[in-house]
Amino acid sequence: MDCVVAIGIRQETGQKAWIASGFLIGELVESVDEKRKLYSTYLATNRHVFEGQKEAWVRFNPRDTQPAREYLLGLEDRDGKRIWQPHSDPTIDVAVVPINVGILRQEGMQFDYFRSDEHVADRKRLVDLGLGEGDFVYVLGFPMGLIGGERNFVIVRQGVIARIRDALVGAGNEYVLDAFIFPGNSGGPVVTKPELISIIGTKVISSSILIGMVKAYVPYRDVAISTQTGQPRVIFEENSGLAAIIPIDFVREPIQRHMESEKKRKQGNITPS
C-alpha cells in the first residue's frame, strides 16, 4: 500500500483537487550482488491524468506521525517540453514519469515501489501462473478524492477477474474486472489476492503480484427516445460495476523505452580521449 500515490492538480480557483491515483514501480537496472539491486523508479498513472497539465501534486506520508507532505511534480521542462512518457500507442491510456526516490528517502517519507523482477507479472507470466476468470484481486487507490485527511490512507477494494483470456492471447489491450471503481481510482494498481487453496487442476497464487492499472469503469448507457420524433433525447450513463484494466506490460513498455533513450543520450555525451 506504500507504493500507491494520490495525484492532484491545481484548479482555477487555486484549490487542489485530488483527481487520480498512481503507483511507484521500479524497473531493474542491475543486480550488484545477491543482496543489492539497482532500479530506475517511475510514477505510473493514466495518460488522461497528465494530458494538458504542466504540473501535478503527489502526496506521501512521513515515517513518523506527521501529516502527509505534498510535492510539486513538474510535467514540463523549462522549454515547455513534456517530461512524462506516454505509451507509444495513443489508445493505451498509460503515462510514466521518472521519480527521484532518493529525495523521498532523505526527507523521511514512507514509501515503497513494485520491483519489476519480484512483484510484477506480465501477460506471459499470468499464463504461466494460470490466472483466469473468477480469480480474486485487490484494487488500490483514492476514489472520489478520498485521500484520508491529514495522512494518506489508501482505499482497498476487492474484485474478481471477469474476463481476461482475450488480453492474455493478445486479442485485446484490456481486461475486465467485476469491481466497482469511481473517479479517482484511475491509474491505481491492481494486485492479485493471495490464496492458500485452489480448484483441482489449477495453480495456487500465494502472493500479491502487480498485474495491471485501472483505466476506468465500463459505463452502462440507457437512451430515452422521444415518442414524437422517435429520436434520442437523453442518454443516462451509470456505473456498470465492471472496470477496464490495462495489463502491466503496457506500463513497463514506456519505462523501458525511456530508460533506453536515456542510456543512448548519456553515451552520446561521452567524448573519446
pLDDT of 272 strictly over 60: no
Q: Which three cell numbers stand for residue 263?
A: 542510456
- Angstrom distances, CA of residue 232 to CA of 73, 223, 238: 44, 6, 17
H or E element at residue 250: helix 249-268
Q: What percent of the chain has pLDDT over 70?
A: 97
Give the number of other CB atoms < 10 A from CB of residue 14: 6
Give the tens place of pLDDT for each residue, 29-59: 988 887 899 999 999 999 999 999 999 999 9
Least confident stretch, 82-86, 109-113, 217-221: 217-221
Closest CA to 25 of 125, 94, 123: 94
pLDDT of 108 strictly over 90: yes
Contact 142, 6 (CB under 8 A): yes
The per-residue pLDDT for 268 is 62
Cβ neighbors of 39 (< 8 A, separation 6 or more) are: 26, 27, 28, 29, 113, 115, 116
Q: How confident is the model at residue 229 (pLDDT cuts 50, 70, 90)?
A: confident
CA-CA distance, 151 to 118, in Å (whole number)? Answer: 28
pLDDT of 210 strictly over 80: yes
**Strands 16-31 and 114-115: what pairing?**
parallel
The per-residue pLDDT for 269 is 54
Fold exhibited by the domain 4-262 = Thrombin, subunit H (2.40.10)
Domain-wise residue ranges, the chain: 4-262
The per-residue pLDDT for 226 is 74
**Strands 37-45 and 95-98: what pairing?**
antiparallel
The per-residue pLDDT for 258 is 94
Residue showing cell 523508479: 41
The per-residue pLDDT for 271 is 46
